[in-house]
Amino acid sequence: MRDTTSAAPHTSATPLLQTVGLTKRYGSFLANDKIDLDVWPQQIHALLGENGAGKSTLVKAIYGLVQPSEGELRWEGQTMVLSGPSQARARGIGMVFQHFSLFDNLTVAENVALGLDGKESFKEMSARLEQVSRSYGLPLDPKREVWQLSVGERQRIEIVRALMQNPKFLILDEPTAVLTPQEADQLFVVLERLKSEGRAILYISHKLEEVKRLCDTATILRGGKKVSTCNPKAETAASLARMMVGTEIKEVKPAASREITVPRLVINDLNLDPDDAHGVHLKGISLELRGGEILGIAGVAGNGQDELFAALSGERLARDPGTIVIEGIAAGHLSISRRRKLGAAFVPEERLGHGTAPRMRLSENALLTGHAAGNMVQHGFVNTAATLNAVDRATETFDVRKAKRDPEAASLSGGNLQKFIVGREILRNPAVLVVSQPTWGVDAGAAAVIRQALLDLAAAGAAVLVTSQDLDELIEISDRIAVMFHGRLSASLPTASASREKLGLLMGGSSLETKEQAHAADT
């Protein structure tokens, strides 16, 4: 164990928050094992660790959502016992969750009102919401309904809601996992400002570069135990990762030679009206993806990626069957199950509630997408052994860490659930894989495993379509990259010639017709 003290001297004599020997057990499983943590005012403190290391569990204990099995919390030096989040909030502890806790069909203001303890009227609250969000440069329209918002905007609601409580101590659990680089930069400005206002921030992230840039101190967890506290600015991303994993992280290696074969996924001039008033209109999207190829789709979230995913998966049907061709078969009118039977597999962006049913077991969630093809269902009866077997295979291949063999999906840590979902689809050996944000919230080691698996799948002859906010990821694994902007897809560039600058320009819409851009800007 090593302990390099952080660079900045502390402004006060006692830490704002301490955990002393904090332990959390789930049955016989130790999610947190005697963790000591000190967070000082005016400090941005990173909490790092692999998926399932116990980060979310620890911060939920600090926020009063999880009752520690042993150990104690101290607030400004005093022992603190929390029987629920409202008590944490009363002390000035705020939290932004890894998974959003928003009601889809309520408005922004209604959602914020539900999470506040104060007694102000709804009107006062709405006014304050607008004012706080504007003053921190996180604009929000209080009257919009949440289901119409992009993930980045939803995150903004959670952050503004936390800020409205004027917290002394703010916990952010992987806030940037879903943000575009621009949105993340905006967030960092807010965090720096909160820090200069004397608040403390506990910051969970898998993106080590941003931790180095932003945080003063980092505490690293591994397998539920604290392994080190260090100054991240004095470390390299690689050395931080090594502390998290305990070993070196493997490099992702593309297969030496990949054979590009037949077209497996073809989109012919796909036009699709949005489901709702705020959705994106898909306009004239065409592409051809051959076996052995990985095509990356870059773009700022909310430019039609969700709509494209729904059209490809069959959650929304196209009018003309020929607009989507899977394995040579016109599939635009086919249901998602029929498309799966043709050999397609899909990984959506949202893992809880879309990719999985949160309150159902993993085996049932394996059945969710596995029932259409394969041996999981015989004569209408579920073959439980086959579903469990699928769970075991995903667990083994993708190192899914969980407390028992077949837990509820919601009890997995975020990254581990992501590994399960990606594993579930890849292990079906699809001919076409459409995947959205494959490494969302996944730690560096596991991200490497998933990217490698995508490359291996392509090497085995599949066509892979990856949508991601993470340009580095796309550059690392794609053969070609196309950019989505206002519902249109640019022509794809070979990755070798796709510089970040070029992609950045495309993501801003600059090389698309200016007429279109002007039209799209005012919708």
Partner 1 sequence: MQLILEKRAERSRTVALASPLIAIGLTIVTMTILFMVLGKNPISALYVYFIVPLADGYSLQEIAVKATPLVMIAIGLSLCYLANAWNIGAEGQFLMGAVAGSWIAVKTQGTGAGHWVLPAMLLLGALAGALYALIPAICKVRFGASEILTSLMLVYVADLLLDYLVRGPWRDPQGFNFPTTAEFDPVATVPTLIEGGRLHLGSILALIVVAAGAVLLGKTIKGFEIRVVGAAPRAARFGGFNANQLILLTFAISGALSGLAGIIEVAGPVGHLQPGISPGYGFTAIIVAFLGRLNPIGILIAGLFLALTFIGGEQAQITMKIPLDVTKVFQGILLFYVLACDSLILYRFRIVSSSPQVARGAH
Ligand X SMILES: Nc1ncnc2c1ncn2[C@@H]1O[C@H](COP(=O)(O)OP(=O)(O)OP(=O)(O)O)[C@@H](O)[C@H]1O
DSSP state of 281: P
Task: List the one residue from 416, 436, 439, 492 that touches ligand X (CB under 6 A).
Answer: 416
Q: Which of 415, 438, 487, 509 binds ligand X (CB under 6 A)?
A: 415
For residues 205 and 323, which CB has a smaller minimum distance to Mg ion in the complex?
Answer: 205
Candidates 72, 16, 20, 23; CA nearest to 44 is 16
Q: Is 402 in the site for ligand X (CB under 6 A)?
A: yes
Q: In what order do the strands lie in the sheet with 17-26?
A: 29-39, 17-26, 70-75, 78-80
Among 6, 19, 51, 305, indicate the residue that binds ligand X (CB under 6 A).
Answer: 51
Distance CA 109, CA 125 (A): 8
Contact 178, 467 (CB under 8 A): no
| Interacting residue with partner 1 among 237, 360, 386, 388 (CB under 8 A) | 360
Q: How far is the CB of 66 from ligand X (least distance, A)?
A: 8
Among 54, 94, 232, 291, binds ligand X (CB under 6 A): 54
Q: How many residues bind partner 1 (CB under 8 A)?
A: 54
Residue number, 38 or 364, with CB nearest to partner 1: 364
65, two tokens:
């959502």
Question: How big is the chain, counted in residues?
Answer: 523
459/316 Cα distance (integer angstroms): 30
Q: Any idea of the CA torsion for 316, 321, 326, 328, to the nearest 10 degrees? A: 180
Does position 2 interact with partner 1 (CB under 8 A)? The reply is: no
385-414 residues near partner 1, rule: CB under 8 A: none
Residue 367 CA to residue 213 CA, distance in Å, equals: 43
Residue 267 touches which member of Mg ion, partner 1, ligand X, none, C-beta under 5-8 Å by kind: none
Asked if 218 contacts 240 with a C-beta cutoff of 8 angstroms, the reply is: yes
Binding mask 234-273 for partner 1 (x = CB under 8 A): ----------------------------------------
> What are 388-395's contacts with CB under 8 Å, separation 24+?
388/363, 390/363, 390/366, 390/424, 390/427, 391/362, 391/363, 391/366, 391/420, 393/423, 393/427, 394/366, 394/419, 394/420, 394/423, 394/424, 394/427, 395/420, 395/423
Question: Which residues inside 66-105 make contact with partner 1, applying CB under 8 A?
Answer: 66-67, 83-87, 89-90
Q: Strands 432-436 and 344-347, how do they pair?
A: parallel
Residues 322-341 binding partner 1 (CB under 8 A) are: 335-337, 340
- String of contacts with ligand X for each residue 81-120, x by CB under 6 A: -----------------x----------------------
- Contact footprint for Mg ion (CB under 5 A): 56, 98, 413-414
Which residue among 79, 166, 239, 499 contacts partner 1 (CB under 8 A)? 166
Site for ligand X in 11-50 (CB under 6 A): 26, 29, 31, 49
d(CA 383, CA 373): 13
Q: Which residues does residue 484 pair with via DSSP β-bridges, in sequence order?
A: 489
Strand, coil or helix: 455: helix
Cβ atoms within 10 Å of 234's Cβ, excluding its own: 11
Interface region with ligand X, contact rule CB under 6 A, candidates 321-329, 353-361, 397-405, 470-478: 397-405
User: Which of 132, 252, 317, 512 is the binder for partner 1 (CB under 8 A)?
Assistant: 132
55 is a site residue for partner 1 (CB under 8 A) = no
Closest distance of CB 389 from partner 1, Å: 17
Choice between 424 and 480, CB closer to ligand X: 424
Q: Which of 340, 351, 401, 488 binds ligand X (CB under 6 A)?
A: 401
Binds ligand X (CB under 6 A): choice among 14, 268, 411, 452: 411
Q: SS in 3 state form for 195-225?
A: HHCCCEEEEECCCHHHHHHHCCEEEEEECCE
Report the interface residues with ligand X, using CB under 6 A: 26, 29, 31, 49, 51-57, 98, 401-403, 411-416, 441, 443
